[in-house]
A and B are shown apart, each in its own frame.
Chain A
Amino acid sequence: MNRQRVVVIAAIAVAVVGTGIWLLWPKPTADGAATATAGPYRVQLTGESPKVGISPFTVDIAGNGGQPPTPDSVTFEPVMPQMGHATTPVVATAQGNGRYSADVELSMAGQWDITVRIVASGQVREAVLSVTTNG
């Protein structure tokens, strides 16, 4: 009786622990950061999504499989498509290693499309990064 009791309790414990491991097992989290391509460039949002109000917006600009020329200028152009609302474009400052940053004004919570306009060697390329702000 005693051994049977131990076996039953052990079996239940194993089942419970197994279910727990199955439920709590960390799922593979792939890179979910906003990324877009603009011709030979690959633009990726770095850090946290911007907040409502004026907050820093930083991207990493790299080659999309090649070595494109260094951008002459990078501009962020925020638009909230659902509201049909665009805010003033801001020129980003280079921080080295392809990182560009500027303070953007996102006036309300929701989904914003931020067009990253890259001018290099007289050519204009655009990548649209979609970010969601929380209030």
Chain B
Amino acid sequence: MLVVMTLVGVVSCAATVRRGGALFPATLTLFSGMLAVMTLIAVPTAWADGTGSDADVHVAQSLGGRELTVTIRRVGPVLGPLHVDVATHRGDAPGTLQLTASATGATTSSGQVKLGTPGIYSAVLNVDRAGPWELIIDDGHTAAKIPFVVPAQVIPPWKKASDYGFFAAGALLIVSLAATLRARRNWMALVPATGMIVALTVAVTGATLSASSPPPPRPGQDLDPTLENVRDPYARVAANSLTPVDYSRPPVNMAVSARESTLHLNLTDSATGRPADDLLIHHGALIHLIVVSPAGAMSHVHPVRVAPGRYEAKFDAAERGTYAMAAEIARRGGGVQLLRGSVDGRSPGAPPIPAPLSQGEVTATVAPAGSPSTFRAKFGDTPDLQPWLGMVGHMMVVGPLPDDRDVGKHALTAPIWSHVHAMVPPAPGAAGGQPDESVARYGPEIDFTYSFALPGRYKVWVQTERDYAILTAPTEVEVRQP
């Protein structure tokens, strides 16, 4: 269409020049129409490849014995109110949480949520600037700092080229029109007309390029977010594009210690030794920490970030023996890593605590090692399971383990630790990202498929959520040689 318009413009100009303005009314109408069309085409529109993410941010936080799900709603490029939902679960103590949105050099905004029965509690904070922010959740003892990015409204350079090109074409059209009417020499109208064609070419090229040009690296996901790169991700594309498809970073080392009912994780970059303070929220948490107790009970917690590279979770190492653990993390730039660690129970004389009762039934059809096995976990009879961490169900697999009482010790050296997901089924016509925990419509059966790599005995736990209670169903399976 634009090419046709350009040709029409050239022909009209030429015709006008040749006939000395005899066709003035027709030409004027044609030019005015073209100007209107150009203006309409050049109207700024929303661009999907900007950094403006309209998705909610869901992040699980094991804060001071509570298992919270914090949802930062629709962090879009529109500044103003920031809606924060805090979902509490069964067993979480009532109390007050202080919420603060903070960024260096920006206005700090605070609010409170008063927690009662399990459910969702909301607060409204305020963000007055695009850039990197922290949401601080303080329960009076520990302050969890959740990093998030408030994106800016970004206009890609080719969009600007297109806008300016169409504008210049429109302006030159007027000039060529005036030249046609007023100039004594007919050729003078051709000068602005040629300029108009050049401007149109720029505009059309910009508009065409926008569809195929790669987006810039995303601040927060690919690069450390700064005020500069959030506001203008295109500004230093050249410098950031040395490895345009691979922003991955070195592995992380994790040191674990347990002191005063608190588990301390210290994450450092394996290449520099600096704190690794660039964890992404993946599958609804900064860290998914799976802990297997000496007696073989599993807990799935989400340590909170208290300082760069330092995370904490409430933890009572009451049993005698080894607590084995594995942390799933994703660093900025992509890729999920599994970090293993352990702590010793602090009471050498304490007896093992028996594993809690199962809250569901797991039926397994176990195939030989290397082939897919299937699992069906059934929790009650009603289809009202809630998604937890964005999934209907989670299945943890640890093994192969010998038939010995000190499960934690053997789990520490077990070659396989797996975390399997049962995804939320797609809802036709649904929009707005993943459903939050208020959607209770899944189950009661949850299916998993998993291939055991090695023969042997495995411990398996399935987790889901109902009525804001995290349910766990453990089982054991024996995998044969293929």
Q: Which residues of A contact B (CB under 8 A)?
A: 5, 8-9, 12-13, 15-16, 19-20, 23, 30-37, 42, 79, 81-86, 108-111, 113, 115, 128, 130, 132-135
Contacts and interface: CB of A to CB of B under 8 A. Distances in A.
B368 to A, nearest CB: 41
A23 B163 contact: yes
B299 interface: no
11 contacts: A9-B177, A15-B35, A23-B164, A31-B105, A35-B105, A79-B274, A82-B248, A111-B224, A115-B274, A128-B277, A130-B226
B240 A110 contact: yes
B13 to A, nearest CB: 16
- Interface hub of A85, A111, A133 (most chain B Cβ within 10 A): A111
By size class, the interface of chain B is 35 or more
Nearest to A127: B104
A36 B242 contact: no
A84 B167 contact: no
A79 B242 CA distance: 17
A35 B239 contact: no
Contact of A109 (B227, B228, B242, B308): B242
Given A35-B104, A84-B249, A84-B250, A20 B224 contact: no
Contacts of B333: 82
Contact of B104 (A15, A42, A108, A133): A42
Interface in B196-236: 223-224, 226-229, 231, 236
A12 B270 contact: no
A115 B275 CA distance: 11
Contacts of B167: 16, 19-20, 23
Contacts of A108: 242
A68 to B, nearest CB: 16
Interface of B: 28, 32, 35, 39, 104-105, 129, 163-164, 167, 170-171, 174, 177-178, 223-224, 226-229, 231, 236, 238-240, 242-243, 247-250, 269-274, 277-278, 308, 332-333
Nearest to B273: A86
Given A134-B238, A135-B238, A19 B269 contact: no
A79 B62 CA distance: 31
B278 A19 contact: no
Q: Interface residues of A: mostly helix, strand, loop or mixed?
A: mixed
A129 to B, nearest CB: 9
B174 A36 contact: no
Nearest to B278: A81
B272 A135 contact: no
Nearest to B155: A27
Nearest to B270: A84
A20 B277 CA distance: 45
Contacts of B223: 111
A132 B228 contact: yes
Nearest to A111: B223
A86 B272 contact: yes
- Interface hub of B177, B226, B271, B308 (most chain A Cβ within 10 A): B226
B332 to A, nearest CB: 8
B228 A34 contact: yes
B274 A132 contact: no
A20 B171 contact: yes
Contact of B269 (A12, A32, A84): A84
A83 B249 CA distance: 7
B239 A109 contact: yes
B228 A82 contact: no
Given A23-B167, A79-B274, A8 B231 contact: no
Given A32-B228, A81-B249, 17 more contacts: A13-B174, A16-B174, A23-B163, A30-B231, A42-B104, A79-B269, A79-B272, A81-B332, A84-B249, A86-B272, A110-B240, A111-B240, A113-B274, A115-B274, A128-B308, A134-B236, A135-B238
Nearest to B247: A82
Contact of A36 (B104, B170, B178, B274): B104
A37 B104 contact: yes
A132 B229 contact: yes
